[in-house]
Amino acid sequence: MPSVAHCPAVLIAAPASGQGKTTVTAALARLHARQGRRVRVFKCGPDFLDPHWHELASGQPVHNLDLWVNGEDDIRARLHEAALNSDLILVEGVMGLFDGEPSAADLALRWGIPVLAVIDASAMAGTFGALAHGLRHYRPGLPWAGVLANRVASEGHERMLQASVRAEAQGGESGSLDAGWLGALRRDAGLSLPERHLGLTVACELPDAMARLDALADAFATTPLGNLESPAWRRWAVAFEAAASQPVTPLLQGRKVAVARDAAFCFIYPANLDILCALGAELQCFSPLADEALPSCDAVWLPGGYPELHAEALSRNRQTRDSLLAHVDAGKPVWAECGGMMPLFDGLTLNDGQRHPMWGVLSGEVCMQSRLAALGPQQWVTPSGTLRGHTFHYSTVNAHGMPAGYTEPVRPYGRPEAVYRRGALQASYFHPWFASSPEAAAQLFLQEVA
């Protein structure tokens, strides 16, 4: 494998959340993928939802990149592999360009990935250029691709915005227009992706998802970003170095792991599935939402998702519930995270006050909240290693009995997340990144209780 691979790449960022980063990233991925190019998309931070759209747009699995959660070696390996096998790499940032520790800007600086800034221009004109200038020059040495205006009202509005960037470029270091303006998207309700309380609506839930992406791609076709053969894209080629090989011991060799996968349990990192396979596990998917009984298995993974949107259906669940109870009573391991944990308790109360009885595997009640209950990076120190990950949820648990342990928040404002146990079942709001400690991840599916 070559030690260095070159590939055009941009990091799509913004001055804040809600500017249109995901829309632009998905549109570019769809545009170039339908032209027959191999496009790989990555998402900064631990987000589960945006990657659903990017995978649909690109036709390729989408991995998350977080300097703390992944670590540099893991990111280096993923970017190098993508560069070897792709014509274009797109990395969507998180929050604002300089928000978070580490930020999207830190990632761009570390790997030399040029930044494409998306700015919601709906309520500005000349200030657009000032924002572009600030984003470009706030951190010395930040690699820069240019700026894209989003939610533009008219051709006249676009000309004013472009003029502000021209003024910025003439006063900047390069003095060249191609370092600044990269086009505009009109203000159009059809050129956006639908949202709900945790973020974007999952792409697979919308029958017109691909049509939405095609409309977005069409809007980019005539911009400088629509032509991969342009001098700009060639200038944005990045050299991605290989990482040292880190073999994974097949601790789960011969073990069958049942994985819940449906609209209610859909927050799954593809990288976590890859690690389970590298550990030797045989994965078998099943649908609790369809009330499927557990397949014949040695362990179960209930990943996060949207049980609150399917509470009534899950409350009628019998086959999944009974087979899961039998599995737990037999002393076999279960790992349940966040949304995968919520149905395990006695009941789930929604924001409208309606309580739905759940599966009763764990004793206690789950209540949805109108505001975010917890957010931030966490780590779980186990005897087999430290798993890194994050927490993000709008519900709280009132459990009967003390937790078996806690994760540790990484930020000063964070709070620990409880880890609940019943036999070999372990459950928490904590979302782990399995590659941060494959040995610790394996133990989630190995520990049995006689």
Q: Which residues participate in catalysis according to the annotation?
A: 338
> Distance of CA 276 to CAs 270, 285, 318, 407, Å?
10, 13, 28, 22
The residues, ordered by sequence, that sit 6+ positions from 282 with a Cβ below 8 Å of its Cβ are: 254, 255, 256, 257
Q: Are 54 and 62 in contact (CB under 8 A)?
A: yes
DSSP assignments along 269-318, one per residue: -HHHHHHHHHTTPEEEEE-TTTTPPPPS-SEEEE-B--GGGGHHHHHT--
Structure tokens at 399: 């459990």
Cα–Cα distance between 375 and 51 in angstroms, integer? 19
Q: What is the largest CA-CA distance in the chain?
A: 73
Residue 288: count of CB within 10 angstroms of its CB: 27
Query: Which residues in 70-200 belong to E strands, given as ranges?
Result: 88-92, 115-120, 144-152, 181-186, 195-196, 199-200
Q: Is 192 helix (H, G, I), strand (E, B) or coil?
A: coil
Cα–Cα distance between 39 and 57 in angstroms, integer? 9
Beta strand pairing status for 181-186 and 237-241? unpaired
> What is the helix, strand, coil percentage profile of the chain, to 5?
30, 30, 40
Backbone angles phi, psi at 282, to 5 degrees: -100, 115
